[in-house]
């Protein structure tokens, strides 16, 4: 028995060393990480007047890379194709306000969630809409950004009463809201707040619902960094970095520069 | 024997029907993407695309005939405005025209109060207007070329018969020009079908809109777009055969006779 075990142990040992070497090789591959991002998506990622990238996620991503002592570059990619772009190796991770969902998790590997934001119903001051009264919504037209969680929410819960129009960008939704083609919109609140003034004295828009974060099967667990499924080591390093930044206060410092509410999980 | 055979055949027929529906269910059961819901989106898209393309082609054709006649006129004040129109609409991308007609018009002050607003409010009519104006411009130029190419002899013969300008246009020039324009116009119809793929940028759920919805929902570009590409191919195929049939009928006199 012993004799039989020895060669087996030797093989194991060799195998182990090889796997260590490979892990190192993979880790070394990621001294440079390319991060995919869809711009603009204020205040998470956008360009300053001079063209430099900034925003909550850009700063957080740069802080993670600084903590891990790796160099990071940001790669621009339209939202529609952001997961295929990751799988096609155009970049190594997506840090672009991507909410963790089961559907997405079938294709990508997510880090621990690093923030979450509420959504809200918004309309112009000319409208008097009671979102709680379903019957009164009959025949109204709602605008959403195509393929977002807000799209899923409205499609699933209000598809039978509201007429849904799907847009490529938030700007188009706002244009049609002002034009009178839309009666209301359901938006990610920070995105809406960045695009339009809401509930300020001179604003044309009002929030007509509470902040909505439920149900979890639509809004998910929060926003995570997406990796290719095989890059478990890289995901683990990002998780470490993110929790360290939360502890040493870097996370809060960045957050307070962009939000007047808590986006931590 | 015969009776027995008949019975088996009908029994077979019944089970075949069952097989097909079971096969279809299996086909749908094995994937997450092509559910009855998403197929419903594609169907809706097919209806929207067909309506949009058919109506814009029809309206474009109706506009193009008088415009082509005006465009062929020797009087500059008649032909120049039409030339300007076709130049503008052929010289700019259809996507830009669609943006201007859909998003641009809402910034005209007071447009919401005019009788036009109920039409412009919907996504369908601005798209229809953009497509119609665009295809009318191309069709005008196709017909104008065909009118220009009318054989000199035919015109001289018509004059010798004492035909007036309008009678000659109706009886001689236009019928032969339409025949000559047919192959080029067939291409324009196919181009229009393919150009209609941009309708989804103004929130229309056309075929491409349905594919984009499925793609974005399931992150499955191959499945979503290959399926829709196959539908476009089928539509193109139908159009090709329709025009081949028309050409066979209307251009029969141009083919060499069988000896």
- Chain A residues closer than 8 Å to B123 by CB: 165, 181
In this structure, the answer to whether residues A131 and A252 fall within a common structural domain is no
Question: Which segments within B168-254 are labelled E, that is strand?
Answer: none
What are the backbone dihedrals phi and psi of residue B139, each rounded to the nearest 5 degrees, phi first? -65, -40
Is the residue at A208 inside a domain?
yes
User: How is domain B35-252 classified at the CATH fold level?
Assistant: MetI-like fold (1.10.3720)
Q: Which is more confidently placed, B16 or B150?
A: B150
CB B236 within 8 A of CB B186: no
The pLDDT value given to residue A261: 67
Q: Do A147 and B216 touch (CB under 8 A)?
A: yes
| Residue B174 banded pLDDT, cuts 50, 70, 90 | very high
pTM: predicted TM-score of the whole model, two decimal places: 0.69
* Ramachandran region, residue B229 (left: φ > 0; alpha: ψ -120 to 50; beta: rest): alpha
Beta bridge partners of A110: A226
Is A4 a domain residue?
Answer: no
The CATH number linked to A215 is 3.40.190.10
Distance from CA of B216 to the nearest CA of A (A): 5
Claim to verify: residue A60 and residue A174 sit in the same structural domain? no
Total domains, chain A: 2
Give helix then strand counts, H and E, for chain B: 11, 0
- A85 min Cα distance to partner chain B (Å): 11
Q: Do A211 and A141 share a structural domain?
A: yes
In a domain, A57, yes or no: yes
Q: Rounded to whole angstroms, what are the CA distances from A177 to A43, A172, A184, B1, B6?
A: 21, 8, 7, 74, 66
Domain membership of residue A263 (yes or no) is no
* CB burial of residue B23 (10 Å; 0-12, 13-18, 19+): exposed
pLDDT tens per residue across span B176-186: 999 999 999 99
Residue of B103, B217, B221 with shortest CB distance to A175 = B103
- State the pLDDT at residue B32: 74
pLDDT at B87: 97
Would the ipTM clear 0.85, i.e. be above it?
A: no
* Mean pLDDT of chain B, nearest integer: 88
A247 and A213 in a common domain: no
**Which chain A residues touch B219 with a CB distance below 8 Å?**
83-84, 103-104, 107
Provide the pLDDT for residue A103: 85
Q: Is residue A40 part of a domain?
A: yes
Chain B positions in Cβ-Cβ contact with residue A172 (cut-off 8 Å): 103
Q: How far is residue A78's CA from residue A66's CA, in Å, rounded to a whole number?
A: 26
Q: Looking at the domain assignment, is residue A198 inside a domain?
A: yes
In B, which residues are within 8 Å of A143 by CB distance?
203
In a domain, A21, yes or no: no
Contact assignment for B221 to A84 by CB distance below 8 Å: yes
Q: Are residues A199 and A246 in the same domain?
A: no
Domain range holding A179?
119-219
Q: Is residue A130 part of a domain?
A: yes
Residue B14 confidence class, pLDDT cut points 50, 70, 90: low
> Same structural domain for residues A85 and A98?
yes
Going residue by residue through chain A, which has 265 residues, state the pLDDT in tens, using 9 for 90 and above. Answer: 344 444 444 444 444 444 444 444 444 457 899 999 999 888 899 999 998 999 999 999 999 999 999 999 999 999 989 999 999 999 999 999 998 888 899 999 999 999 988 889 999 988 888 888 888 999 899 999 988 889 989 988 998 999 999 998 888 999 999 888 999 999 988 888 888 888 888 888 999 988 887 788 888 788 999 999 999 999 999 999 999 999 999 999 999 898 866 677 7
* pLDDT (mean) for B251-259: 78
d(CA A181, CA A183): 7
The string of pLDDT tens digits covering residues B50-106 is 999 999 999 999 999 999 999 999 999 999 999 999 999 999 999 999 999 999 888
Percent of chain B residues past pLDDT 70, beyond the cut: 91
Query: For tokens 């044309």, what's the residue?
Result: A204
Contact B217 A147 (CB under 8 A): yes
For residue A112, how many other CB atoms are within 10 A of its CB? Answer: 17
Both A156 and A215 in a single domain?
yes
**Given an 8 Å threshold on Cβ–Cβ distance, is A84 in contact with B216?**
no
What residue in A sits closest to B221 (Cα-Cα)? A84
Q: What is the pLDDT of residue B19?
A: 75
- Residue given tokens 């993110």 in the structure block: A242
Residues A152 and A124 in one domain: yes
Distance CA A168, CA A182 (A): 15
pLDDT at B244 over 50: yes
Label residue B16 by pLDDT band (50, 70, 90).
low
Note the pLDDT of residue A147. 80
Residues A137, A195: one domain?
yes
- Specify which residues A167 forms β-bridges with: A145
Query: CB of A81 within 8 Å of any CB in chain B?
Result: yes
Which tens digit of pLDDT belongs to each residue from B27-47?
A: 666 677 788 888 999 999 999
Task: Name the residue among B203, B215, B219 with its Cβ closest to that of A167.
Answer: B203
């Amino acid at each position: 028995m012993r004799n039989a075990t020895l060669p087996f142990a030797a093989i194991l040992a060799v195998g182990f060393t090889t796997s260590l070497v490979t892990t190192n090789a993979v880790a070394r591959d990621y001294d440079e990480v390319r991060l995919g991002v869809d711009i603009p998506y204020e205040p998470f990622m956008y360009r300053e007047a001079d063209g430099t990238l900034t925003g909550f996620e850009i700063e957080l991503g740069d802080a993670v890379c600084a903590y891990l002592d790796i160099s990071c570059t940001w790669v621009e990619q339209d939202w529609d194709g952001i997961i295929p772009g990751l799988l096609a190796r155009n970049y190594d991770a997506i840090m672009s306000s991507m909410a963790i969902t089961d559907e997405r998790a079938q294709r990508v590997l997510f880090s621990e969630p690093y923030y979450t934001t509420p959504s809200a119903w918004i309309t112009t001051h000319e409208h008097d809409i009671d979102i709680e009264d379903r019957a009164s919504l009959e025949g109204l037209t709602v605008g959403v950004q195509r393929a977002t969680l807000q799209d899923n929410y409205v499609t699933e819960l209000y598809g039978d009463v509201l007429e849904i129009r799907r847009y490529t960008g938030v700007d188009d939704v706002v244009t049609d809201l002002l034009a009178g083609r839309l009666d209301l919109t359901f938006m990610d609140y920070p995105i809406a707040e960045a695009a339009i003034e809401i509930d300020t004295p001179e604003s044309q828009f009002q929030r007509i619902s509470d902040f909505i974060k439920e149900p979890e099967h639509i809004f998910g667990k929060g926003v995570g960094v997406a990796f290719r499924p095989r890059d478990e080591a890289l995901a683990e390093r990002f998780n470490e970095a993110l929790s360290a930044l939360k502890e040493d206060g870097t996370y809060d410092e960045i957050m307070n520069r962009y939000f007047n509410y808590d986006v931590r999980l | 024997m015969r009776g027995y055979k008949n019975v088996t055949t009908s029994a077979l027929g019944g089970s075949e029907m069952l097989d097909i529906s079971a096969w279809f269910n299996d086909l749908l059961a094995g994937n997450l993407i092509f559910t009855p819901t998403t197929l419903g989106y594609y169907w809706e898209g097919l209806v929207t695309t067909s309506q949009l393309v058919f109506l814009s082609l029809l309206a474009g054709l109706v506009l193009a005939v008088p415009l082509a006649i005006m465009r062929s006129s020797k009087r500059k004040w008649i032909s120049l405005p039409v030339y300007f129109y076709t130049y503008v609409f052929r010289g700019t991308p259809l996507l830009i025209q669609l943006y201007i007609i859909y998003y641009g018009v809402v910034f005209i002050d007071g447009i919401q109060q005019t009788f036009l607003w109920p039409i412009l409010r919907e996504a369908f009519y601005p798209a229809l207007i953009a497509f119609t104006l665009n295809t009318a411009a191309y069709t005008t130029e196709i017909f104008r070329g065909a009118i220009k190419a009318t054989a000199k002899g035919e015109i001289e013969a018509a004059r010798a018969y004492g035909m007036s300008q309008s009678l000659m246009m109706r009886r001689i020039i236009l019928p032969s020009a339409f025949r000559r324009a047919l192959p080029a116009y067939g291409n324009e119809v196919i181009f229009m079908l393919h150009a209609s793929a941009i309708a989804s940028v103004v929130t229309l759920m056309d075929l491409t809109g349905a594919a984009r919805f499925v793609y974005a929902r399931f992150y499955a570009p191959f499945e979503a777009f290959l399926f829709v590409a196959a539908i476009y191919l089928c539509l193109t195929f139908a159009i090709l055969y329709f025009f081949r049939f028309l050409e066979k009928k209307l251009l029969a006199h141009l083919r060499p006779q069988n000896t």
